[in-house]
Amino acid sequence: MKELCFPFDSKSILRNKRELKRQLLSDGSSRIKKNIAVLGGSTADHIISMLRLFLLNSGIEPHFYKSEYNKFYEDAVFGSPELDSFSPDIIYIHTTSRNLTLIPDSPAMTEEEVHNRLNEQYGMFTQVWESLRKRFSCPIIQNNFELPLFRRTGSFDGWAVSGQAAFINRMNVLFSDYARQHQNFFINDINYLSSAIGLEKWHDTDAWYLYKYAMSTAVIPDLAYSIANIVKSIYGRNKKVIDLDLDNTLWGGVIGDDGVEGIEIGPETPVGQSHSEFQEFIRGYKDYGVLLAVCSKNDEENALLGLKHPDCTLRPEDFVSIKANWDSKDRNILESADELGLLPESFVFIDDNPAECAMVSGQIPQAAVIELSTVGEAMYALSRGGYFEVTSLSGDDLRRTEMYAANAKRAAQAKSFSSYKDYLLSLEMYAVITDFEPVHRQRITQLTNKSNQFNLTTKRFTENEIEEISESKGYIRLCGRLADKFGDNGIVSVVIGRCEGDTAHIDLWLMSCRVLKRDMELAMLDELVRQCRENGISRIVGYYYKTPKNSMVAGLYESFGFTKTSESENGDTVWTLGVEGYTAKNEVIKIQRR
């Protein structure tokens, strides 16, 4: 919904929130349901209603638990039966500088006194977090602290022993330290947010006294959007590709008219410098696993000429897809998506031309579109948009572009073989299929949350749930990694079989689309059957739960030789396979078991 995309009109969202909610709930889209507990140090009603809108707009249907006013500490530390039975998937702790009960209040305080207060205040929070972690193994999102608007002593307040701003800054450092040292704990950086928006706009003393709102109502949509970005990222809703125009976006000028010596990039001119900074900024995303692509109306020859300009930071090899032609841009984006095995909704498109932007948002409404009027604005929109909010960083993220480049080489090789099987054999593939090793659980969790297409049940798991499954008996767990002579694809397939008597129920079967048509699913099935036999299981039951995105696997179990046992009206199907008499199917991948 356009109204809820960054940059949004906060006033209008607040005023029309009921209508927006009604529209979202009746748009017929399927959403994952999540329980979110909001433990507030101030009133959180508006935050909840705004958060609901942003999450509904991102495929997540939240149900909320709300602590009584300023009972975050009691709810967390002493527990509450309501919270227990709510069984949260995510806990958001909405505290602000208003909750710093031990902030220094006298210039007479010594360094030691202030230090003790700092530790005691921080201790109250760690007690909250540790109690919650003990009772609920779910992600916790915690606000850090915003600076106050009022400073009795001016700049002195920021560095003096008894300074309040100084105290807040020190608390924020302690919070960040804790977040770095604890998994599944995330800081919602309201210190940044309130600065970006401006403390004058952020703070509203009347709202505190009237409603116990710790910030102005007007900035609550921004706050909720920031929380929503973290939640979206936890559930794998991030975008995956930045698709970039070239002329007047990656460089100044039009390469087709101005020639490679005429475009502005590099240190010589202000315009050239701005585009250099932009390229540098975009390149940085690559290191976090974001894929880069080009979508430009140009002759390909010219496009490549431009990208080989000595002052371009971004080189042709940095892009996983370069579409430089005269077709419409929406068509090019759809083609790139198809080639990469991604959905068009995982694209962020950046272009300086408003007409192209309007065209793409009209044709591909699920994609994010950034109209670049200045590179500064585009960088801000790209970062505040929260499309690439990081909540976990796996080794695979860091190597993603490499992996897609290897895929392009494979595609080139495929053309030289007469049979597909010969091609697959030529790849010299080998797979490592293991249990859920501790080092891989983060990646496994990530895959369960972001795989949509090759995913039979689309069941989402938190890291703690994966942890629990990994530690308990009664499961067959397969984690598959596929490599070949062009490179290592990393962990690409996950299967969870829940054993009951002589039957294994396939609760999860997913595979990354980057290894489609490589027979990896057959290798996984062979291993599953092997383990079933080892554990005295004679029957495998597979489930296909239909979603708008997973039609590619509707016939998977049938292709495996399963028999359909039931089909419901909504398209869900159940399948069984007898283990006896099964013969191994994979002929092209060497298997290494551990």
Per-position DSSP letters for 76-88, written without gaps between them: HHT--HHHHHH--
Is 46 a binding residue for other proteins by CB under 8 A? The answer is: yes
- What count of other Cβ atoms lies within 10 Å of the Cβ of residue 502? 12
Cβ atoms of 324 and 303 within 8 Å: the answer is yes
Which stretch, 8-16, 245-253, 325-333, 573-581, contacts other proteins (CB under 8 A)? Answer: 8-16
Residue from the set 3, 31, 35, 45 that interacts with other proteins by CB under 8 A: 45
* Residue 148 DSSP code: P
Is 26 a binding residue for other proteins by CB under 8 A? The answer is: no
Instruction: Build a one-symbol-per-residue string for 161-200: x at contacts with other proteins by CB under 8 A, - elsewhere.
Output: ----------------------------------------
Min CB(21)–other proteins separation in Å: 8
The β-bridge partners of 433 are 480, 593
Min CB(273)–other proteins separation in Å: 40
Min CB(46)–other proteins separation in Å: 7
- Closer residue to other proteins in complex, CB, 9/130: 9
Min CB(15)–other proteins separation in Å: 4
Measuring CA to CA, which residue among 227, 120, 127, 222 is closest to residue 167?
120
- Closer residue to other proteins in complex, CB, 52/440: 52
Is 590 a binding residue for other proteins by CB under 8 A? The answer is: no
CA distance 79 to 76: 5
Residues 199-228 that bind other proteins (CB under 8 A): 206, 209-211, 213, 217-218
The 3-state DSSP class for residue 37 equals: strand
Q: H or E segment at 331?
A: helix 329-340
Tokens encoding 126: 């760690």
- Closer residue to other proteins in complex, CB, 24/234: 24
- Closer residue to other proteins in complex, CB, 94/514: 94
CA distance 324 to 296: 5
Cβ atoms of 382 and 375 within 8 Å: the answer is no
Instruction: Build a one-symbol-per-residue string for 418-437: x at contacts with other proteins by CB under 8 A, - elsewhere.
Output: --------------------
Beta strands in 19-124, from DSSP E residues, in sequence order? 32-40, 60-66, 90-94
Min CB(4)–other proteins separation in Å: 16
CA distance 76 to 70: 11
Min CB(213)–other proteins separation in Å: 8
CA distance 332 to 335: 5
Count the site residues for other proteins by CB under 8 A: 17
N-terminal to C-terminal alpha carbon distance within the chain: 47
Per-position DSSP letters for 534-552, written without gaps between them: HTT--EEEEEE---TT-GG
- Closer residue to other proteins in complex, CB, 224/333: 224
Residue from the set 2, 18, 180, 473 that interacts with other proteins by CB under 8 A: 18
Min CB(42)–other proteins separation in Å: 13
Amino acid in position 587: E
Min CB(594)–other proteins separation in Å: 56
What is the contact surface with other proteins in residues (CB under 8 A)? 11, 14-19, 22, 45-46, 206, 209-211, 213, 217-218
